[in-house]
Structure 1
């Protein structure tokens, strides 16, 4: 009987000490679950705020796109007005030349009679008073006609001067409109990109915290299961000690230990990152040449028309690669390589106005394909006559 009591005491101590660990872990996991839940709530609020800001920016972008379309229409109207002014200037110049020729003809007609070179001599050569009066009337009419022609000529010159001034003002206005369009585009795309990064960052953080919470929940579930198992073991041990002999107690203990050790443990989930597939140059090349000849369109990113970054975004999307929408954004997102290291399929960047304002796809042999305002989508050479002067560098899309 005493031997049985000793076994009972040992088994009871085993049950108590084994149960302490999962109970303690259970309390700690509850704290972790609460912490991750609070963090998820905070991130949810941040995400809602960022999404609201993104919606606001999107509305602003739409408003500015309408303004941009209006500015483009104004630029077209300005170009038409400039053409009209050029035509008027040509017409006025021709009219002045005609008047000058008429003055010369009149002077020659006066000089014909009497072979004289001035009006005074023409009057003095009159045969009589009647002839003199007739000659005076001719001279008077001629002088008046000349005066009228000269006045008209001066007025035409003033009109030409005004037309020239208007032309210059229109040219300046056109340049300002173009600068305003480019500035608005860059600012809006930068704001949109910034907010998209914020939203993406919050979403990624939410995913991480959610995974942590699920991990802690799995730990809690495992701890609860283990506590339930140990409780069952304790009951089985007590029953065995009370109703059976030493052999039954030992067998029950071995069985309980075996069940406890075989219980699976919760493990931290592992993230798997799949590396992007390589060898996309063939797809990029085919997509680029497929839209060759597409006209340039400010803000365009479809086959109806492309701007420079719209073209590269479109082409790389065909290969399953997403690029930032602006040339400067693509420059920042690419891995920089030297010109000697540049390969077909790398991006090539230019700066014509102080910032990264043009991008194309390098073809090798000092050539690239891009959407230029003067040619649309076409192959161009990085020559010192133009593009070579503005070359910034090359970037590889990872």
Structure 2
């Protein structure tokens, strides 16, 4: 971790902090004004901070749903690619079988000519060349045997041809269903992105209102101070295992890295579950890729039972949409949402779901 990042001060805004409001053309501004009016009506009686926290939770949920859809679309693409490859292979097999059928039909009449009468070109000529009853009967039996064998070969080839055609029909139906599913998922993804962009504009407006009213209170966390606190034996750090402390210090050193959908590395950034998976994976603790997986990756504990180094999950009705790591003092570290960075926040959210002990 470089010196610049170590010395980075990450600000957790309790009431608000904001940079510059996004500029928009008049049409967008008018639409946004309508959204703000609807939102304000639905949250009447709530403080600006409560409205901000609600919007932040909604954006986190949308990010989680978007990430899930992106993964589904990626799976759809792989399945479509595989099915199209199978369709191509079946077409090649069918072409080869048709060629074999054509060749077998040609050989059907040539076999007798080759076996019985060089220069002749039909079964009839083979029979007419018989030298007596016994020879005729012998030729009839031989020709019957050849014809039966050829019929079996032709029947086998035709059956294979039918099987391949049936397979092509099934594959084409699967391909069409997958293409439709992909199109549906892409439409849902667009809708989610539109909703998230609308929520972000609302959030920017709330932050601007907070800033203009000078109702801003900040809690600042200095990386070096936090590392010293983790190494101390005070409060919740007393008796904490060295492994948990190392995990906390490793997590804190990544403060300031941007949120990135599907991100699982410092180079490109992290989403919430990608960050927790990466941190614990560095110490040999395997976590699932999604919040749903990580909910069941250890022993669930209540908020009052949390210890530094436990996972904290947020959501409703047993369905998590966000995850972070508890670091003590009623705070947690997480990769929040689009446009934000890994930071520490107070554990005062109303959508806290459960803690998970993975060590």
TM-score (structure 1 length as normaliser): 0.38
Relative to its length, the structure with more strand (as a share) is 2
TM-score (structure 2 length as normaliser): 0.42
